[in-house]
Amino acid sequence: MKLTDRAMRILHVAGEGLLVSDTFGRVHLLDDEFHVIRSSPRVREGRPLYGLAVADGWVIGKDRMGAVLRWSLDTLDLVNRLDPVTVCDPSGLIEGEEPSPVSSRGIGVWDGRVFVTSGYHHQMLVLDLHTFDVLEIRPNICGNSPMEWACVEHPTRHAVSDKEGNLRFGSFTDLEFSDHVKLDDGNIHRVRYDSRHDRFWCTQDFGEGDNADIANGVVVVSVDGEKQDEYLFARDDVEFVAFSPDFSKAYSGGFDGELHIFDNSTPELRVQRVVSGFSHQLSDITVSPSGDVFVLCQDGEITRLTADGTFVRAMGFRRQAVWDIQPSREDPAVLYCATDSGVAVAEVHQRASGPTLHITEDHETGLGFTRRVAPVEGGWLAVTRDRHVLRARRGGEVVWDRRLPEGLLHTVAASPDGTRALVAGNAGAVELDTATGETLTTLGVDGLPVWAATYLPGGERVVATRNGVLAVFGEDPGKPQWRLDQGEYPKRMWAQDGFLYVVGDGGLKEIAVGRGVTRTWRELLSNTAENATVSDGLVCVSSYGMQVAAYTYDGDGFVGFMEDLPDYPKALSIVRDRDGRPHLLVGCRTGLLSLYRMDKPAEEGTFAKLEDRWLPRRPARFTLSYGAPAAR
């Protein structure tokens, strides 16, 4: 038997095997060959399990809405579930407050007690590990920010991190965590104690100070809370750090898709090997007692490596995701979908029930997941995770394919006349001739990673850097016509109806070129905004918190909300019925395409599900590569 649902967390348990939590709130035990030994039962309230811990024969988990669960390790039978709505201190809630979704991982287990933030992030539950009785409901150690990690590996000095870059030291014995250091402007996903050198290693998501949203990596802190050193190797979130059993090696990586193997035989932070070519972004790691390394990617694939990073085997998880949806230039009812395996073509057909989707083409590229698509005459442009830019015709024939050697690629846009393509990447922006794929020019802003790029209606080029700088370039690629530091990192950007729209860390922003930000939509979004649509007086925004929100364009009124989605919504597009009324198409992980009417009254939430359709799932095709670290 194999896993069928995407893994969220992995943890190797001595004498047992590989423990895996999934998107539907289940836990599974696998052997080192990835065979499923046993699985927990499904529960009706099953949601993605982000927190995972094992202690004294029990498995403890926390889902995205704050439910806390306990299974027997011997059988994986579910024994307890604490509801996030009612297990709280009502006196500490504001009127009408409900649990908020969060992807926090933090579960502390110490001296027979479990410490975990609840669905109300400013509250913390203290549980008896062996009875699961609620011993105390108290203020969160981290204030209003969920506890992201709890490290109890030091015999007396405990450390907890939060989602605002804070690291606190103290003890779960007396719950005094008075020592504090700020290490990041975002999440500190992992804090691990290095017993070889008596210090803590911490991850960074954004970086801090002058490096914020520019460079990040791992930070080393003494047991007294003093920052000792850092190694900035990443341009995106760093998700984990772990050690070999003898602490001679450390492993770290994240959304850049590279595993950095540190030589930890001496206190100096020194990377000895970089492993790349994984199927996807890296999201978790665990090391077995024998020293084998297991790496989890965001698509659900798990790869087993030796201690030095040599490939052993992959699980072969069948996965799919829809990253982007763009209508063709010739017909808005023909949609190009960027997927984990390539590009799919969907056509909108009108039926008695309303619009419906037919998948007419599904092309596998073998070039890593397709991050974005852009329509051009007769087909599409695409950028892939493996740094390829390609042009293809309807039917899948590839016109040209170029691999850009430097930096991960993020977005692609076609010029209004279709003759040029603007590609955003960590090494800057590159403009290509869409007929041949040849480079026309390069664009950069202060040497920063470019995470989004687009064209204005007049053909001017716009780039947005990771740290939120927007620059508009006319004919001179060396000097922008206009520049705006809007302060938050972008995910996507496009021009529409005389405005520039940027979606990312600050929600959705409408920008008047030459003036600045004119509108912002972000209310109730619990995480980074991923995508958005603006149409017919309605604004829809999806977030990394598995949410989709609807707002009125005029007045910015909040009129709709969905946050119990089965997985991350990545792609949004507007399709219309035979009378021209707009429907929202949402593309998610699992290859799900969901179509919603938007005609419910605002007081009923605006969205009404019309249909779901899934794209075929396939195992990833990838080959690992090995290299030396870049100069520090």
pLDDT at 628: 85
Distance CA 501, CA 492 (A): 8
pLDDT tens, residue by residue, 56-78: 999 999 999 999 999 999 999 99
DSSP states along 415-448: -TTSSEEEEEETTEEEEEETTT--EEEEE-STTP
CB atoms within 10 A of CB 12: 21
- What tens digit of pLDDT does each residue of 356-384 get? 999 999 999 999 999 999 999 999 999 99
DSSP SS3 for 128: strand
Q: What's the pLDDT at 479? A: 93
- Contact, 157 vs 179, CB < 8 A? no
Q: 332 in helix, strand or coil? A: coil
Check residues 525 and 388 and name the one with the higher pLDDT.
388
pLDDT at 163: 94
Q: How confident is the model at residue 563 (pLDDT cuts 50, 70, 90)?
A: confident
pLDDT one-digit tens code per residue, 396-410: 999 999 999 888 999
Cross-sheet strand order for the sheet of 592-597: 569-576, 582-588, 592-597, 608-614
Longest alpha-carbon distance in the chain: 70
In this predicted structure, the answer to whether residue 116 has a pLDDT above a threshold of 80 is yes
Contact 182, 169 (CB under 8 A): no
* pLDDT band for position 251 (cuts 50, 70, 90): very high
- Give me the pLDDT at residue 565, please: 84
Q: What is the DSSP letter of 91?
A: G
Mean pLDDT, residues 600-627: 93
Residue 560 pairs with which residues in a beta bridge? Answer: 550
pLDDT of 1 over the 80 cut = no
Angle at 583 between CA 594 and CA 505, to 5 degrees: 70
- Under the banding of pLDDT at 50, 70 and 90, the label for residue 629 is confident
Calculate mean pLDDT across residues 5-15: 97
**Measured distance CA(527)–CA(543) in Å, rounded:** 6
Write down the mean pLDDT value for the chain.
95
Q: Give pLDDT tens digits for 317-360.
A: 999 999 999 999 999 999 999 999 999 999 999 999 999 999 99
Token output for 200? 């803590």
State the Cα–Cα distance between residues 26 and 85, nearest whole angstrom. 20
Distances (CA, A) of 545 to 76, 103, 104, 345: 28, 7, 11, 27
CA-based torsion, 3, 8, 11, 12: positive or negative = positive
Contact call for residues 604 and 583 (beta carbons, < 8 A): no
Provide the pLDDT for residue 250.
98
End-to-end alpha carbon distance in the chain? 45
**d(C-alpha 608, C-alpha 385), whole Å:** 34
Closest Cα partner for 12 from 35, 29, 33, 26?
A: 29
Exposure b/e, 78-112, CB count within 10 A at least 16 = b: beebbebeebbeeeeeeeeeebbbbbbbbbbbeee
| pLDDT(631) > 80 | no
> Which residues 6+ apart lie within 8 Å of 604 measured at CB?
none
Give the C-alpha separation, 486 to 467, whole Å: 9
Tokens of 471: 């620059």
Instruction: List the strands of the sheet with 388-393, edge to edge.
Output: 370-376, 379-384, 388-393, 398-403
SS3 assignment, position 372: strand
545-549: average pLDDT: 92
> Alpha carbon of 86 to those of 15, 89, 99, 565, 615: distances in Å?
37, 8, 9, 21, 38
- Comparing CA positions, the residue from 396, 385, 386, 402 lying closest to residue 437 is 402
Q: What are phi and psi of 122, to 5 degrees?
A: -85, 0
Hey, what amino acid is at 47? Answer: R
Q: Confidence band (pLDDT; 50, 70, 90) for 210?
A: confident
Identify whether the C-beta of residue 126 lies closer than 8 Å to the C-beta of residue 138. yes
Q: How confident is the model at residue 255 (pLDDT cuts 50, 70, 90)?
A: very high
**How many other CB atoms are found less than 10 A from the CB of residue 478?**
9
Measure CA 526 to chain center: 13
Report the predicted TM-score, pTM, of the whole model to 2 decimal places. Answer: 0.95
Beta strands across the sheet bearing 529-535: 529-535, 538-543, 547-552, 558-562
453-509 residue pLDDT tens: 999 999 999 999 999 999 999 999 999 999 999 989 999 999 999 999 999 999 999
Q: Residue 602: pLDDT above 90?
A: no
**Are the C-beta atoms of residues 453 and 473 closer than 8 Å to each other?**
no
Residue whose entry in the numeric block shows the structure tokens 């979908």: 337
Record the tokens describing residue 211, joined without a space. 């490096």
pLDDT digits (tens, 9 = 90+) for 149-168: 999 999 999 999 999 999 99
Give the DSSP H/E element, type plus range, for residue 260.
strand 259-263
- Average pLDDT, stretch 593-605? 93
Number of Cβ atoms within 10 Å of the Cβ of 619: 16
What per-residue confidence (pLDDT) applies to 138? 97
Residue 304 pLDDT level (bands cut at 50, 70, 90) = very high
Half-sphere exposure of 143 (CA within 13 A, CB side): 11
How many degrees, rounded to 5, is the angle at CA 236 between CA 235 and CA 240? 115
DSSP string, 556-570: T-EEEEE---SS-EE
